[in-house]
Amino acid sequence: MATRWGIVSAGLISNDFVGALKALPEGEHRVVAVAARSLESAKKFASKYGVEKAYGSYDELARDPNVEVVYIGTIQTQHLPVASLMIQAGKHVLCEKPLCMNVKEVKQLIQLAKEKKVFLMEAVWSRFFPVYQELTRRIQSGEIGDVVQVICSFGKSIEDVTRMVRRETGGGATLDLGLYTVQFTTLVMGGDKPQKVLACGHLNDNGVDETISTSLVYSGRRVASLSSTIRGDLPSEGFVIGTKGTIKVNYPMWAPESLESSSGKYESLLPKTGHIFNFENSQGLMYEAVEVRRCLNEGLLESPVMTHKESLTNAEVMEKMRTQVGVKFDQDD
């Protein structure tokens, strides 16, 4: 039986998510409804992708009994209220990253999902790429010995994207780009929390971080060096340095098709679908959809690949990063 999706928001990332579903076997995923802030936008989206129902409010989608799981593609300031609405209605939830604006909100949402006994996953799509699975395998095999350091960057010249530079829309480098470097490090460090977070950077005129550089100190003599910016293009690669060698996850580290180490290059190319995506390598959104379907079919309430605990750890690290640089959101009060 097909997994029945409801899409919340008809924006760019929601377009890419539904486009990516087209690459999966027919009959496994079915988009039964879409909701947007305006009925006109929802109808346009539904017409483009062959979605059965279009709603002009999120409440209507929450009440649709045919919707099994929702994909939330709203801006991050809306993640907590919209995800809460869907969970209260008994819907399973795949919510775009960052899961919420801060640690307090992440804890609140996870607790609600547990109370309502519904599946909840932060859409850290990177985790489900075959390259990330191969990265984990090579580290665990002992190929590079003991992990010593992670060096990771993600930077794009995107200051012209309005929501990225405004405090009221949860903008800044950390929550949008830095999250990818943080989750990469958390994965490599086996889910451990850093003992120290040391961040520095620059704020724009709106009070959000435009450039940030962070050092993380872990137990076992491990460290990480992370960089993010919305002002320019960084290498956007990930390096895992061990006592016996190095693994390099090639650009784009957040949605990679290859890595290399002493045992050779590993490559897993994305399928060519013919769909025109808004963001780089968005075909890879299909991998997280496959994971959601697997978890629902097995009766799991969280993914063992992207756990609630790791979402919380990543949120804690990012909150320390941005607050040290001086970023404060209204949701922090």
CATH number at residue 252: 3.30.360.10
Q: Are residues 63 and 187 in the same domain?
A: no
Q: Is 217 domain-assigned?
A: yes
Q: Residue 162 domain-assigned?
A: yes
Q: Evaluate the CA torsion angle 70, 75, 80, 84 in order and state its sign.
A: negative
Whether residue 15 is contained in a domain is answered as yes
Q: Would residue 110 count as lying in a domain?
A: yes
Residues in the chain, total: 333
Structure tokens at 132: 């990330």
| Chosen domain end from 58, 91, 126 | 126
> In terms of Cα–Cα distance, which of 273, 238, 326 is closest to 20?
273
pLDDT tens per residue across span 230-278? 999 999 999 999 999 999 999 999 999 999 999 999 999 999 888 999 9
Is residue 292 a part of any domain in this protein? no
Answer yes or no: do 81 and 188 share one domain: no
CA 201 to chain centre: 23
Across 208-237, average pLDDT: 98
Residue 229 has pLDDT above 90, yes or no: yes
Same domain for 162 and 70: no
132 and 97: one domain?
A: no
* 140 and 116 housed in the same domain: no
Tell me the pLDDT band of 26, cut-offs 50, 70 and 90.
Answer: confident
pLDDT at 213: 98
* Final residue belonging to a domain, choices 126, 155, 178: 126
State whether 195 and 261 are in the same domain.
yes
Please check whether residues 19 and 74 belong to one and the same domain.
yes
259-283 exposure pattern, b = at least 16 Cβ within 10 A, e = fewer: bebeeeebebebeeeebebeeebbb
301 is a domain residue = no
Instruction: Record the pTM.
Output: 0.97
Q: Which helix (H) or strand (E) holds 266?
A: strand 264-267
Q: How far apart are CA 264 and CA 259, in angstroms?
A: 9
Mean pLDDT computed over 30-48 = 97
Residue 261 sits in the same domain as residue 159: yes
Domain stop point among 92, 126, 160: 126
**pLDDT at 167 > cutoff 90:** yes
Give the chain's mean pLDDT: 97
* Pair (104, 246) in one structural domain: no
CB atoms within 10 A of CB 66: 11
7 lies in the same domain as 105: yes
Full domain range(s) for residue 25: 3-126
Q: What percent of the chain has pLDDT over 90?
A: 98
User: Using one digit for the tens of pLDDT, what is the confidence trace for 145-158?
Assistant: 999 999 999 999 99
Domain contains 278: no
β-pairing, 238-242 with 246-249? antiparallel
**35 and 160 assigned to the same domain:** no
Q: How many domains would you assign to the chain?
A: 2
Reported as a single tens digit per residue, the pLDDT across 59-85 is: 999 999 999 999 999 999 999 999 999
Residues 121 and 261 in one domain: no
Q: What pLDDT does residue 22 have?
A: 92
pLDDT at 148: 98
Report the pLDDT value the prediction gives residue 30, as an integer from 0 to 100. 97
